Structure 1
Amino acid sequence: MSRETSEGERGRVVRTACPYCGFATMDDEASFCSRCGKPLHTAAILARRLERAEWLEKIKDVGAGSSAQPLQDREAQEIWNRMSRDGESGRKADGGGGQAERSRAERPAIAAEGAPATGYFRLWMLPAAALLISCLAVLAVFVHDGNVNAKVRSWHVQAEKEAKAGQYRNAEQLLELAAASRPGNPGIAKDIDIVRQAAKLDDDIKAAGLLLDQGSLEKAESGLRQAQATLSSRHEELFDPIRDKLAGAGARLAVQQVSSELDGLGTIREMAERLQRLRGLQAPGAPELRQRILDSMVQMGINQAQQLLRKKDFSAARAAVDETVSHAGNTSKLQDMSARIDKEKEEYEEQERKRLNAAMQMANLEQRQNQTDAFDIVELNASIGEEGSAVITGRLKSKATRGIRAIRLFYVLKDAEGVQVGSGTISVSSGGVIEPGGSAAFTEKNASVKSEASVAITSATWYID
């Protein structure tokens, strides 16, 4: 056998066998089996190709002396036997008698000298089994993780729904199940912390509601303020139910506070402030309390207007009604009160006009009287005094409406035949001013008249104080 022939036969024997069907592919560089079409194991192919290359190099080095003689070198014999075993595995995989006979005919002479022939599959069976087991283990882990992830996702989605519905304790339990399946997961741990904070706020608001039921308004207000301060820094959607509950509890608190303060309110402005606090609230009892405040406000405005009417302060009464209307609306009672104010104002103004006219007339009369008839002479006498002169005495009484002073009386004296025998002026002084209704005495001597005579006042002058 020539070296070329041996090397050619060896090249045909050393072929890659398919790990599925055992067929030795004709193309040593093939990646897929030419019979079944399945992919060849790339790692095994590369390893075998490297081994073949090493074998061929060693065979060339050992058999370089003569290609016709059997190989005597022990190492070369071992290499040739391994290549022969690979060829035997390829021929068994090919099947068919003709093809098997052709393989025997082409078997090299060195194989006929007793080289053992074993199956090719022994070389890759153990790695293939190990690879299969590894793949199955990875697949099992993957399937298990997939199932766990599906459960965790389901629990997380359900917990989110429960939290958005305000069922925080249920959401916490679901998240704890998820955390037990995925321990150390930071996202789940954070969600549990947020849900627990929401649950605590929910419990605080419920506790404030119980305090409201018991009438402890100050404690309830303090609890709600703390909850509001904590909630102001939370913007997650799951806190929306708590915001609604907090708003409802705040509305209840406002209603109870205003209701307790209502009896102590004394002005329209104070009632208007309480009414503003209740505006827009939908808490139980809020509509009834608003109507109660409106009714109280209207009645208070009417009472104030009536008191001012008794004082004839029509402008203040009108202002009280207008202020009430601005807060409570123009109700029928306030309309009636406005009409009453207008009517009484007209009547009062008419009475005042009449009174003023009467007062003016009286003032004119009084002024005329004070100017023309301010006093009466109640006593007037004329006699002869010790000195032989006529002495005139008398007393006057004021009927003026104001004080009078500096009174001067002009008189004449007449004898028994009525002939005037003398005249003169009397100055009346009573220490200053003669008040209305007061009186004053006067005395005057007339030396020119020495006989009995009668006296008469002809005129007088005075000043009005």
Structure 2
Amino acid sequence: MYCHQCGAKNAPKQKVCAKCGARLLTAEERQVLLEVAAGAEAVQQPGMAAHRRGETLSSQDDKTGAKGKTSGAGRAFLWLIPLLLAGSVGLALTMYYNYEQSLNREVTALQQRAQKEALAGHYSSAVQLLEEAEGKRPRYTALRQDRELTAKAAELQLQLEKASGQLKEQKLDAGEKALNHIANMVNKRQEPLFAPLKKQLAAGQVKLAVLKVKSELDKLNTVDALAEKLDTVSGLSGQEAAAVKAQIIGKIVGISYAAAERKLRDKDFVGAMAEVDSGLLYAADNKKLIAYRKQIADAKKEFERAEAERIQLAEQKAAEEDLNNRTAAVDVSGLHVVLDDYGDLQISGTVTNKATRPIYSVSINLDIYDSSGSYLGNTYAGVSPYHLEPGETGDFTTWYYGVYSQAQASVVNATWYLE
């Protein structure tokens, strides 16, 4: 193969001239040149026929005495025709070469535009541009391969759009199946034009994950279960992922707050604080939980202060009760003194247990005085029943002998045992 520009010899299948760098003509282009050359030869033939007629005419003139003039014109035309022929073929080659270069530039421009569209994820537009370029160069293998690859990307993009529509309609199972199929196809491709499709696929997978979590939120009512879902979406990005994160955190806050309220009503301050802290673990800046934590702490302090006072009062009351139980547990009432026909005094009365504890073995000591107030003596009486519950009453009866006159009795002491 010879270069049409510099004439250097090149290998038969070489595409670029090794000497001047010009693109070598393909077999199709060489065929066109042959056709152009054949056309030029057709133009040459009438001239050559005229030349022969001239020669014939020159021979006739020679008989009339004008032979020398005709032979000179013929020789000049013989030199002129090759020059004209060479000029017409060269012009045809130049025009053809310029046409081919222009066509190549158009095809290259279309291919570059298609590349930009494909790398931007506009696959359908890229396919149209490549089809236009392939119409101009139908035998370019590279164009066909680019078109087929871009068409495959366009088909997958349509499938992805359909899967996204299924997700919007909450058809999560069908959408997930479609996304998995697309992922299996796309992940095998390493060509740069699939990069936008992979990005769109990643966005669809994020949306699927978010929708699956959202569909399960209503069934989750514990902080631990919600925290597990929060971990699921923590690695996802995008507005939808951020929204579902906020939704999960909001639900965690609500559950923590409600649980803390219940425990605070039961005065379980430690438990209430733990519930709030579990919520703050996932929503550290939540103003509601921060304020409620302070409220729990204040309530705990107030309760402890009141409890300390209550304990102090209880201890004081217990001491008073103990003192009362030990010193004033027995109340004697209804004391009655009767002088019988034999001059003896019959003394009776009622005893009430004023203690806060049961008492037993109660006894009463009585002093006896005559009507003038003179001391006559002392007697002892046991209370029945033997055991008295708090507030329970008992009776006692005793005798004082040999008075013979009306007298009075006075309780001077009582003894008992506390249970």
Shorter-chain TM-score range: 0.5 to 0.7
Counterpart check, 1:419 vs 2:419: no
Is the CA contact (8 Å cut-off) linking 2:340 and 2:346 kept in structure 1? yes
- 1:457 corresponds, among 402, 411, 418, to 411
Counterpart check, 1:439 vs 2:392: yes
Is the CA contact (8 Å cut-off) linking 1:304 and 1:320 kept in structure 2? yes
| Greater CA drift, 216-225 or 195-204 | 195-204
Per-residue CA deviations over 1:283-338 (Å, capped at 9, x if unaligned) read 44333443444444445444444443333332223222322222112344443333
CA distance in 1, matches of 2:139, 2:161: 33
| Greater CA drift, 260-269 or 157-166 | 157-166
Q: Which amino acid aligns with 2:328?
A: D
- 2:281 corresponds, among 322, 326, 346, to 326
Distance 1:280 1:382, change over 3 A: same
Aligned residue number for residue 264 of structure 2: 309
1:373-388 aligned within 5 A: 373-383=328-338
- Superposition deviation, residue 429 in structure 1: 1.7
CA distance in 2, matches of 1:402, 1:351: 27
Aligned residue number for residue 301 of structure 2: 346
Aligned residue number for residue 428 of structure 1: 384
- Superposition deviation, residue 372 in structure 1: 0.7
CA distance in 1, matches of 2:161, 2:330: 93
Aligned residue number for residue 6 of structure 2: none
Distance 1:234 1:455, change over 3 A: farther
CA distance in 2, matches of 1:453, 1:282: 106
Aligned residue number for residue 221 of structure 2: 266
Instruction: Calculate the aligned-residue CA RMSD, in Å.
Output: 4.6
- Superposition deviation, residue 229 in structure 1: 5.9
Aligned residue number for residue 243 of structure 1: 198
Aligned residue number for residue 408 of structure 1: 363
Is the CA contact (8 Å cut-off) linking 2:363 and 2:380 kept in structure 1? no
CA distance in 1, matches of 2:322, 2:182: 82
- Superposition deviation, residue 235 in structure 1: 6.2
Per-residue CA deviations over 1:97-117 (Å, capped at 9, x if unaligned) read xxxxxxxxxxxxxxxxxxxxx
User: What is the TM-score when the length of structure 2 is the normalising length?
Assistant: 0.57
CA distance in 1, matches of 2:341, 2:181: 112
2:337 partner SS? strand
Distance 1:393 1:286, change over 3 A: same
Distance 1:459 1:254, change over 3 A: same
Per-residue CA deviations over 1:144-199 (Å, capped at 9, x if unaligned) read xxxxxx9xxx9999999887666778899979x89x9699xxxx99x97x989867
CA distance in 2, matches of 1:269, 1:385: 88
1:461 partner SS? strand
Is the CA contact (8 Å cut-off) linking 2:388 and 2:394 kept in structure 1? no
Is the CA contact (8 Å cut-off) linking 2:353 and 2:388 kept in structure 1? no
Distance 1:218 1:453, change over 3 A: farther
1:402 partner SS? coil
2:335 partner SS? strand
Larger radius of gyration: 1
Q: Which amino acid aligns with 2:230?
A: L
- 2:312 corresponds, among 339, 354, 357, to 357
CA distance in 2, matches of 1:222, 1:398: 86
Is the CA contact (8 Å cut-off) linking 1:252 and 1:284 kept in structure 2? no
Q: How many residues align?
A: 311
Aligned residue number for residue 31 of structure 1: none
- Superposition deviation, residue 365 in structure 1: 1.0
Per-residue CA deviations over 1:124-145 (Å, capped at 9, x if unaligned) read xxxxxxxxxxxxxxxxxxxxxx
2:357 partner SS? coil
Q: Which amino acid aligns with 1:207?
A: K
Distance 1:207 1:395, change over 3 A: same
1:293-308 aligned within 5 A: 293-308=248-263
- Superposition deviation, residue 263 in structure 1: 4.7
Is the CA contact (8 Å cut-off) linking 1:380 and 1:393 kept in structure 2? yes
CA distance in 2, matches of 1:390, 1:218: 106
1:36-47 aligned within 5 A: none
Q: Which amino acid aligns with 2:198?
A: R
- Superposition deviation, residue 462 in structure 1: 1.9
CA distance in 1, matches of 2:169, 2:342: 109
